């Protein structure tokens, strides 16, 4: 292993959205943000000493709301990451909330080599944003994308959330069209998941049913097709060459190092994560190994499970190159028994169709384990 993807979790938000289960702490003070940036820099030093020959070719600031760190702190972390892990020709992404005026932050981020913005647009429809409890408006999204372009960040990903209150197939399609019109190079379209320990989990609003959500998903992906994007993963579509290099590492079973509370890593055959506890991270507590799952880290099953999320699926050639043996024939046999509208299995490998992506968990479990 000579190259990793670096992930830095920034667990702060101005306020908690009612559906969100990500680890984040509301309303950080400046002193807390300063201390957090310093702890991240120290942690980069620690990992660079442990992995002396390793460089990073992607860096992803995720959250929470990493843009809350502001330009100076982001720049300081970037300088340290570059000093320790190279970052030569790296894709460097910042997640941001469009509710805030980000021009100065983006300017400082770009000046230190930041080159990609991932914006939690969620919807371009004001009523849906209000129903989701978001702080931003459609105008904020347009302003922030324009600011990113002004500072030279032209690689912009916009999120669309599906199955949200007030959403129709037409409004989901409209969000996809507007994402393209704003100049997005990449669109992520995620289904709203109701998590039990959230306000939406305790008091769930009226939501579109499963069929309506599936229609919205297909409408978004079909619309993006017609606008020149290609779907490369269950939830992601991009212009050619603008796929998320960082996220592809997860689906390609490549190593990644996560820093910050709740951040996980996969290095060699070890998967470990920091506790969901900012105080523990600030005290310098080490990450711990994640509990063993039914599918072992680095196993053929784990590899295929991740690859089947991608439009290209799991290919026979890549599998043989990685494991030195052919793909198990039983996977092909099971895949061929499934409807061709959902799964393609041929000499090249196995892949799910767009309709298949709607029931991916069931299909993947069937192909790999039943």
The reply to whether 11 sits near ligand SF4 by the rule CB under 6 A is no
- Taking only Cα atoms into account, the Rg of the chain, rounded to an integer number of angstroms, comes to 21
Neighbours of 184 (CB within 10 A): 29
- Considering beta carbons, is residue 118 or 223 the nearer one to ligand SF4? 118
Q: How many CA atoms lie within 13 A of 314 on its CB side?
A: 28
Sequence-separated (6 or more) residues with CB below 8 Å from residue 195: 19, 20, 21, 201
Neighbours of 285 (CB within 10 A): 13
Binding letters toward ligand SF4, positions 101-140, x by CB under 6 A: -------------------x--------------------
The reply to whether 16 sits near ligand SF4 by the rule CB under 6 A is yes
- Considering beta carbons, is residue 13 or 310 the nearer one to ligand SF4? 13
- Considering beta carbons, is residue 97 or 223 the nearer one to ligand SF4? 97
The reply to whether 273 sits near ligand SF4 by the rule CB under 6 A is no
- Exposure b/e, 55-70, CB count within 10 A at least 16 = b: bbbbbbbbbbbbbbbb
Q: Applying CB under 6 A, which of residues 8, 51, 54, 65 lies at the interface with ligand SF4?
A: 65
Residue closest to ligand SF4 (Cβ): 20
- Considering beta carbons, is residue 91 or 95 the nearer one to ligand SF4? 95
Neighbours of 31 (CB within 10 A): 8
The reply to whether 64 sits near ligand SF4 by the rule CB under 6 A is yes
Residues 110 and 97: their CA atoms lie apart, in Å, by 17
The reply to whether 13 sits near ligand SF4 by the rule CB under 6 A is yes
The reply to whether 41 sits near ligand SF4 by the rule CB under 6 A is no
- Considering beta carbons, is residue 25 or 38 the nearer one to ligand SF4? 25
The reply to whether 22 sits near ligand SF4 by the rule CB under 6 A is yes
- Considering beta carbons, is residue 93 or 97 the nearer one to ligand SF4? 97
Residue 128 backbone phi and psi in degrees, to 5? -70, -40
The reply to whether 157 sits near ligand SF4 by the rule CB under 6 A is no
Q: Which stretch binds ligand SF4 (CB under 6 A): 12-20, 142-150, 184-192, 204-212?
A: 12-20
The reply to whether 261 sits near ligand SF4 by the rule CB under 6 A is no
The reply to whether 158 sits near ligand SF4 by the rule CB under 6 A is no
Q: Which stretch binds ligand SF4 (CB under 6 A): 2-10, 36-44, 59-67, 342-350?
A: 59-67
The reply to whether 191 sits near ligand SF4 by the rule CB under 6 A is no
The reply to whether 20 sits near ligand SF4 by the rule CB under 6 A is yes
The reply to whether 17 sits near ligand SF4 by the rule CB under 6 A is yes
Residues 134 and 142: their CA atoms lie apart, in Å, by 15
Count of residues in contact with ligand SF4, rule CB under 6 A: 11
Q: How far apart are the first and last CA of the chain?
A: 33
* Distances in whole angstroms, Cα of residue 217 to Cα of each of 3, 122, 212: 34, 13, 9
Binding site for ligand SF4 (CB under 6 A): 13, 16-17, 20, 22, 24, 63-65, 97, 120
């Amino acid at each position: 292993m000579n190259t990793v993807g670096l992930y830095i979790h920034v667990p702060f938000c101005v306020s908690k959205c009612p559906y969100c289960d990500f680890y984040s702490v509301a309303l950080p003070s400046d002193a807390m943000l300063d201390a957090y940036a310093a702890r991240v820099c120290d942690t980069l030093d620690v990992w660079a000493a442990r992995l002396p020959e390793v460089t990073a070719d992607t860096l992803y600031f995720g959250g929470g709301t990493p843009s809350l760190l502001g330009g100076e702190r982001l720049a300081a972390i970037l300088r340290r990451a570059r000093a320790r892990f190279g970052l030569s020709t790296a894709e460097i992404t910042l997640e941001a909330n469009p509710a805030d005026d980000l021009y100065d932050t983006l300017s400082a981020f770009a000046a230190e080599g930041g080159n990609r913005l991932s914006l939690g647009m969620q919807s371009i429809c004001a009523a849906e944003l209000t129903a989701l409890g978001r702080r931003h408006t459609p105008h904020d999204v347009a302003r922030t994308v324009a600011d990113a372009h002004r500072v030279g960040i032209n690689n912009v990903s916009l999120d669309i959330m599906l199955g949200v209150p007030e959403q129709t197939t037409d409004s989901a399609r409209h969000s996809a069209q507007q994402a393209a019109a704003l100049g997005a190079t990449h669109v992520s379209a995620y289904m709203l998941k109701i998590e039990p320990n959230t306000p939406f989990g305790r008091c769930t609003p009226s939501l579109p049913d499963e069929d309506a959500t599936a229609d919205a998903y297909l409408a978004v992906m079909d619309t993006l097709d017609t606008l020149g994007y290609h779907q490369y993963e269950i939830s992601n579509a991009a212009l050619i060459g603008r796929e998320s290099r960082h996220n592809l590492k997860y689906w390609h079973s490549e190593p990644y190092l996560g820093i910050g509370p709740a951040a996980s890593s996969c290095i060699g055959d070890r998967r470990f994560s920091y506790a969901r506890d900012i105080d523990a991270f600030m005290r310098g507590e080490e990450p711990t190994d994640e509990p063993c799952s039914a599918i072992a880290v680095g196993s053929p099953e784990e590899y295929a499970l991740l690859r089947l999320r991608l439009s290209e699926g799991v290919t026979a050639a890549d599998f043989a190159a990685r494991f030195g043996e052919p793909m198990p024939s039983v996977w092909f046999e099971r895949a061929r028994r499934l409807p061709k509208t959902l799964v393609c299995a041929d000499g090249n490998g196995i892949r799910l169709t767009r309709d298949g992506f709607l029931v991916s968990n069931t299909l993947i479990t069937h192909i790999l384990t039943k």
